[in-house]
Amino acid sequence: MTLFEPAPVERRPLHQEERETPQAGPGEVLVRVEACGVCRTDLHVAEGDLAPHKRPIVPGHEVVGTVVACGAGATRLSEGERVGVAWVHRTCGTCRFCLRGEENLCLAPLFTGWDVDGGYADFTVAPEAFVHPLPAGLGAREAAPLLCAGIIGYRAYRQSEIPPGGRLGLWGFGGSAHIVIQLARHAGCEVYVFTREDRHRSLAEELGAAWVGGSFEASPHKLDAAILFAPAGELVPAALEQLDRGATLAVAGIHLSQIPALDYERHLFQERRLRSVTANTRGDARALLDLAREIPLVTHTMPYPLAAANEALADLKHDRIRGAAVLEMGA
């Protein structure tokens, strides 16, 4: 499913086309795609909220599949191994951020489904150094949301600096948040969910939220940390007002609408902090996949055939998905 020009998803900007199967180059692996999660970042790419980096482009960066060929010098993975391909396609490895272990801040990164063709396809190619072996026993549809929603949710959870047993607020309850609530509950945290949709509220309650309310409702308790997953800048002041002294609001989206003016005393004084979350590292991916096996994490998904990618993106845009949408190849 190829994007030639960004457009509102209601105009069906992705088009199905036949291509030759790509070949794995040096250090790369060819992956036969079993499933690919539908991420809000894909929506931003499709609609042009993120400026196009490559035209045409095949979106998708929550890829689960099987290695079917290894390029020259690719020796870490084996044919037949089940793997995941995530948002970070490659980093330069030589800039000051890569050298100090912060590859998510790399000065010259490439991203799956934005700079290079991604997983809305039967096959995709990726550098084996950035491909993740998957824990045994995870089904393709269940594993797909872990490859971005899970990984970026995990990083946002860490960047929020929630103390064990603390009170965590979550704004927006989609693919990432329904994984993060499981991480937080595993650490003994109370989770307070702010969302406008009834289907999201019911899922939050099922997953153990201590309280569920509207996006602008007042929490019954001050929060020790919070994460904003909704791409709505107007929620930033609302979330900051709910924080206790010294607490952090982590903004997890790659795109955010305009943030209204902040009042220093109401929103930031008493050492409250506002921080962004930028991509992720391979270490984040490994840690999240380990936790997926340990907890174990359960993902709630809605399946779509590959040809229905436009419909999946429209459902995501209009909050019609309970959990995460996943494209299944061959469905």
Q: pLDDT, tens digit, for every residue of 135-159? A: 888 899 999 999 999 999 999 999 9
Domain 151-276 has CATH 3.40.50.720: yes
Q: Does residue 250 contact residue 228 with C-beta atoms inside 8 Å? A: yes
- CATH 3.40.50.720 residue ranges of the chain are 151-276
Contact, 115 vs 300, CB < 8 A? no
Tens of pLDDT, residue by residue over 270-296, are 999 999 999 999 999 999 999 999 999
Instruction: Put residue 23 in one of left, alpha, beta given phi > 0 → left and psi -120 to 50 → alpha.
Output: beta
Q: What is the 3-state secondary structure (H, E, C) of 250-302?
A: EECCCCCCCCCCCCHHHHHCCCCEEEECCCCCHHHHHHHHHHHHHCCCCCCEE
Helical (H) or strand (E) element with 315: helix 309-317
Q: Does domain 2-134+300-328 have CATH number 2.40.37.20?
A: no
Burial of 31 (0-12, 13-18, 19+ CB in 10 A): buried
The C-alpha atoms of residue 237 and residue 219 are separated, in whole angstroms, by 14
Q: How far is CA 267 from the centre of its chain?
A: 27
Predicted pLDDT at 197? 86
Within the chain, which residue ranges are assigned CATH 3.90.180.10?
2-134+300-328
Question: Tens-of-pLDDT digits for all 331 residues of the chain?
Answer: 999 999 999 999 999 999 999 999 999 999 999 999 999 999 999 999 999 999 999 999 999 999 999 999 999 999 999 999 999 999 999 999 999 999 999 999 999 999 999 999 999 999 999 999 998 888 999 999 999 999 999 999 999 999 999 999 999 999 999 999 999 999 999 999 999 888 899 999 999 999 999 999 999 999 999 999 999 999 999 999 999 999 999 999 899 999 999 999 999 999 999 999 999 999 999 999 999 999 999 999 999 999 999 999 999 999 999 999 999 998 6
- Tokens for 167, please give them: 């009170």
